[in-house]
Amino acid sequence: MNSNVRNSNNFRSFVDIDTTFGKAPAQNHSEGIDADVAVLGVPFDMGPGYRPGQSSAPWAIRKASADYALRQAGFYDYEDDVIYLSDTTRVVDVGDADVIPMDTEKSFPNIELAVNNILKSNTLPVILGGDHYITAPSVSAFSDRGPVHVIQFDAHLDFRRELYGMRYCRSTPMRRCSEMNHVSAITQLGIRGIGSANKSDFEDALTAGSTILSVRQIRQLGLKETLAKIPDGKQFYITIDSDAFDASIAPGTCVPSHGGFLYYEVMDLLQGIAKKGKVIGMDFVELTPAKDPAGITAILAVRIIYDLIRFVFEKRK
């Protein structure tokens, strides 16, 4: 997949020091990264869809994260009585992957390269999408670090063979991931959207080894039984589509879908997943800032990202 990768000297960041995630120090992902966490933007929204705008999501999330940049020595969580993300957890912002406007085929290997550069430094990649197809090249970067179990929070299955004749688009990333040799299985949580997949797509996903649970099924099972369906001791890549959440708290998404998760449901699941294995990467995708003038979806994304970073490093400690 790297045959068309641009030389790293052509790295092009859309980020300046005032708009890094949480006002973290800025580094270049093509160089050695000295941090525990590297935040990477992927301003890509060229997959087929009638609601574009996800290319501005990395900027919107970084802007929203400025509200969390006033901490002195980490964040105090009253509910769990812990201080997390203190100075012992080093976060940097490595700018944006080199997305080439109107050139999908060349953008994908550049996304994979940017993620792989982070992994070379043994750093946790936190990726700000972008439409959901960016998950496929991101997961592809782990090809020599498998096996990887992908956990997807989403309203839609994203398991089509193709859409409008295109194999690489926002409706196909989970099928493309399932075709990768280093991906052992996929757990798909929150699936409820109609019209996004055919019955045969669900059958194919189940045949490929997916576990599929809707929000209603998860609420019926409860947290403990839902987590029991996720295998222990695996390496987890977590992808979170903003439409996994209910449209009432996340209106800024490509395809708002009612009946979705609330914040605490996802937070509790992420905490449980982090305890079950090793989280090796995550992305937050499909945020569409133009659909949410109040910016509450971006604020939600920031909180979810900080929560997951906390859970990952609490487990490691």
pTM: 0.91
Residue pair 279/123 in contact (Cβ under 8 Å)? The answer is no
d(CA 14, CA 34): 21
Q: Are strands 82-84 and 91-96 parallel, antiparallel or unpaired?
A: unpaired
The CATH topology of domain 8-316 is: Arginase; Chain A (3.40.800)
d(CA 54, CA 40): 15
Residue 317: strand, helix, or coil: coil
**Domain map (residue ranges) of the chain:** 8-316
Give, for all 317 residues of the chain, the pLDDT tens digit: 444 444 443 444 444 456 899 989 999 877 789 899 999 999 988 755 567 788 899 999 999 998 887 566 788 889 989 888 876 889 999 999 999 877 778 889 999 999 999 999 999 999 998 888 899 999 999 999 989 999 999 999 988 766 655 667 677 899 999 999 999 999 999 999 887 788 998 999 999 999 999 999 999 999 999 999 999 999 999 999 999 999 999 999 988 889 999 999 999 999 999 999 999 999 999 999 999 999 999 999 999 999 999 999 988 87
Cβ neighbours of 203 (radius 10 Å)? 11
Residue 150: strand, helix, or coil: strand
Give me the DSSP letters along 243-259: GGB-TTT---BSS--SS
Q: Which two tokens stand for residue 264?
A: 């605490």
